[in-house]
Structure 1
Amino acid sequence: MKDYIEERAVEVGNYIIETKATVRQTAKKFGISKSTVHKDVTTRLASLNPALARQARAVLEVNKSERHIRGGLATREKYLHQHMLENNLHKKI
């Protein structure tokens, strides 16, 4: 494995643990795909630093178990925002 890939895998693991970041947030931060984040944590990091890989996977599991809540909150915010816009338009008319 190339050195820069190993370094990135360790950086990704540390970032996830320190910030409690989701796969999507991590992928955006490092400019890589979500699949690469998963591969870095589950395969590459597991062979480089198993303890760090376990910690990072634990954070990702928590995020995965809470994603339906975040999705519901985002949907709620979307409709509240739309409702506010509609009310403001009706007041102006």
Structure 2
Amino acid sequence: MNMLENIKQRVIREAEYIVKEESTIRKCASVFKVSKSTVHNDLSKRLEKVDHELYLKVRDIIETNKKLRHIRGGIATKEKYKELRHEKEES
């Protein structure tokens, strides 16, 4: 199996994972032990050439994640400061 075939298989596995789990690029990168940049390039450039139908599904999930990103960030920040306040009150 040559390197191009390895990359193609990785792209398909990442895309199938994103669709199955409705995952984020960050989570996918962590699972496959590659950088977020690699996953982003795989899914936004390479996948379209490999499997256009799968690319469309992944693109929709990524767009949804982008729309929800600011909400997730706000929730995480709120929880962080809530935890810090709780720790301060205990000490």
* Normalised-by-shorter TM-score class: over 0.9
Q: 43, 52, 55: which is aligned to 2:57? A: 55
Quote the residue 1:17 is aligned against. 19
Question: Shift of residue 77 of structure 1?
Answer: 0.3
Measured in 2, the distance between the counterparts of 1:40 and 1:57 equals 12
Quote the residue 2:69 is aligned against. 67
SS in 2 for 1:2: helix
Taking only the aligned residue pairs, the percentage that are identical comes to: 38
Structure 1 unaligned blocks of 5 or more: none
Quote the residue 2:31 is aligned against. 29
Amino acid at match of 2:4: K
Quote the residue 2:86 is aligned against. 84
Off by >3 Å, runs of 4+ in structure 1: none
Quote the residue 2:48 is aligned against. 46
**CA radius of gyration, larger in:** 1
Measured in 2, the distance between the counterparts of 1:36 and 1:54 equals 19
- How many residue pairs were aligned? 89
TM-score, normalised by the number of residues in structure 1? 0.91
Measured in 2, the distance between the counterparts of 1:83 and 1:38 equals 36
TM-score, normalised by the number of residues in structure 2? 0.93
Structure 2 unaligned blocks of 5 or more: none
Quote the residue 1:3 is aligned against. 5
1:51-86 residue CA offsets vs partner (Å, 9 max, x unmatched):
001101110110011000000000000010011111
SS in 2 for 1:87: helix
CA RMSD of aligned residues (A): 1.0
